[in-house]
Amino acid sequence: MTTTYRTGQFVWRELMTTDVEASLRFYTEAFGWKTETMKMPDGTDYTVVKVGETGVGGIMKHPMPGAPAFWGAAVSVEDVDGVAGRVTANGGKVIVPPMDAGGMGRYAGLQDPQGAILNAWKGNGGDSPAPERPSVGMFCWEQLNTTAPADTLEFYSKVFDWKNEPFGGGGDMKVFKADGTSVASVMQAPPGAPAHWLSYVVVDKLTSAYERVKQQGGKVLVERIDVPTVGAIGVIQDNVGAIIGVFEGPGA
């Protein structure tokens, strides 16, 4: 059996939460996710969130007491240790040193020079294939909002060998590409906002998703931005404070 990797692409998203039960309640109701909880080798619980039988992300208790809840995303790489070395060589930080993940693979937590955080991942069993068209409940995109776009483009080209080109819809937004596949967009962060990565999930309709979000104790931070020929996006904050993007396809 051939092991397939999607090197340079985002392959997993994970919520580090301050309250696992509250997070599970929120996302099963707001996004319709199913859950499956397992024990990790160190005895901690890890919950895989699913769309049907497909695992799309994970939820676990934040290991650092007092740290805020946040969604993180992982990029598939050929060599986690090599990527970590390139991060530090180009002005970034390794906030979680390369380590094995319970026999499933190897990962590291990284921070770019502007402060945005993401993970590098090499799974022992390869990467799951990307859906041709992500369905409702699946992650569909990543966006980097940064305080220094030009420096950021150079950093990630050296770390992940990402290329970039202008977004077809116009404006100053750039799109990162890995081997010709679009993987993320890059924009200037709003005034006063720190640099951060933002993951997007497909929803049925923004308005109906927002009703569920509010019912479960979340907030709508950005109500609607129309993206010509693509759809519409918004941003929410869940009931424990983590921020995540939502996407409504055209004609929804």
Which of 66, 152, 84 is CA-nearest to residue 115?
Answer: 152
Neighbours of 196 (CB within 10 A): 19
Question: Is it the case that residue 150 has pLDDT exceeding 80?
Answer: yes
Given CATH 3.10.180.10, say whether it is the number of domain 139-248: yes
Name the residue with tokens 């068209």: 133
Q: Say if residues 8 and 178 touch (Cβ distance below 8 Å).
A: yes
Residue range(s) of every CATH 3.10.180.10 domain in the chain:
10-123, 139-248
User: How far, in Å, CA of 141 to CA of 245, rounded?
Assistant: 9
Given CATH 1.10.620.20, say whether it is the number of domain 10-123: no
Question: Is it the case that residue 23 has pLDDT exceeding 70?
Answer: yes
Instruction: Kindly state the percentage of the chain with pLDDT values over 90.
Output: 85
Give the per-residue pLDDT at 52.
Answer: 95
Question: Is it the case that residue 215 has pLDDT exceeding 90?
Answer: yes
**Pairing verdict, β 45-51 and 34-39:** antiparallel
CA 249 to centroid of chain Cα atoms: 19
Question: Is it the case that residue 18 has pLDDT exceeding 90?
Answer: yes
Per-residue pLDDT band at 1 (split at 50, 70, 90): low
Task: Identify the helix (H) or strand (E) that includes residue 25.
Answer: helix 20-30
Across 120-134, average pLDDT: 93
Least confident of 36-40, 75-79, 131-135, 169-173: 169-173
Question: Is it the case that residue 34 has pLDDT exceeding 80?
Answer: yes
Name the residue with tokens 């799974």: 123
Give the per-residue pLDDT at 206.
Answer: 98
Which of 35, 18, 116 is CA-nearest to residue 73?
Answer: 116
Per-residue pLDDT band at 3 (split at 50, 70, 90): confident
Q: How far is CA 50 from CA 53, 56, 99, 133, 135, in A?
A: 6, 5, 26, 16, 12
Question: Is it the case that residue 169 has pLDDT exceeding 90?
Answer: no
User: How far, in Å, CA of 215 to CA of 57, rounded?
Assistant: 23
Give the per-residue pLDDT at 115.
Answer: 97
Give the per-residue pLDDT at 95.
Answer: 96
Least confident of 64-68, 105-109, 146-150, 216-220: 64-68
Question: Is it the case that residue 158 has pLDDT exceeding 70?
Answer: yes
CA 218 to centroid of chain Cα atoms: 19
Per-residue pLDDT band at 252 (split at 50, 70, 90): low
Q: What is the DSSP string of 115-151?
A: S-EEEEEEETT--PPPPSS--TTSEEEEEEEES-HHH
Give the per-residue pLDDT at 170.
Answer: 61
Q: Give the three-class secondary structure for 65.
A: coil
pLDDT tens, 72-123?
999 999 999 999 999 999 999 999 999 998 788 999 999 999 999 999 999 9
Q: How far is CA 49 from CA 20, 31, 131, 140, in A?
A: 12, 10, 16, 15
